Copies of this chain bind each other. A is one copy, B any other.
Amino acid sequence: MAVAFQTHDHARCTDSAMTNARAICAARGLRLTPARARVLEILLEAHRALGAYDILERLNAEGKPAQPPTAYRALDFLVSNGLAHKIEGQNAFIACTHPDRDHDAAFLICRACHTVAEAPRAAASGSLGQAARSLGFKIERTVIEAEGLCPRCQGTTPPC
């Protein structure tokens, strides 16, 4: 997990993530339609957070004219089912790297190369959960994001 900052074989991790996603949808009776699968592939291939309109551009570049709802519907499906996450701090979306079950995640986002590492995380852990408990607040959803510089981009003047 959280290997995003290390070099690795993107093609292979895309393939295995797609296979995994198909298996998950089959197991849960979800329909990973061509449109949804294509959006997930785009996210996996980009290997970083993409805006909805970045995805639209890529879809249109493939000769399939698509309007915003097409992208947003696919993204809603992927996010609802844990196959992708929304990075609220950037109005962008990223494929989940371990979509084995529902989970809230924490993200480390490099402002230079836009790589995003996803750290699995116990729901409502840490100081946030503590504060919530002491106030009687019932957490339903969390957004935990850190923006900064990844190891690769800390040394280089021009960002990787």
Binding site for B on A (CB under 8 A): 2, 5, 88-89, 106, 108, 110-111, 117, 119, 121-122, 124-128, 131-132, 135-151, 154
Q: What chain B residues lie within 8 Å of A136 (beta carbons)?
A: 5, 150-151, 154
Please, which residue of chain B has its CB at the minimum distance from the CB of A152? B136
The quantity of this chain's copies bound in the complex is: 2
Q: How far is the CA of A112 from the CA of B141 in the complex (A)?
A: 13
For the residues of A in contact with B, the DSSP-based class is mixed
In the bound complex, do residue A126 and residue B126 qualify as a contact, i.e. CB atoms below 8 Å apart?
yes
Q: How far is the CA of A110 from the CA of B126 in the complex (A)?
A: 19
A154 / chain B contacts, CB cutoff of 8 Å: 136, 138
A125 to chain B, nearest CB (A): 5
The answer to whether B151 touches A147 (Cβ under 8 A) is no
A140 to B110, CA, bound (A): 10
Residues of B within 8 A of A137 (CB): 5, 108, 110, 117, 146, 148-151
A129 to chain B, nearest CB (A): 8
Q: A88: which B residues are within 8 A, CB to CB?
A: 88-89, 143, 145
Task: Determine if B119 and A131 form an interchain contact, defined as CB atoms under 8 angstroms apart.
Answer: yes
Instruction: Give the shortest distance, in Å, between A131 (CB) and chain B (any CB).
Output: 4
Which of A128, A132, A141, A145 is packed against the most chain B CB atoms within 10 Å?
A: A128
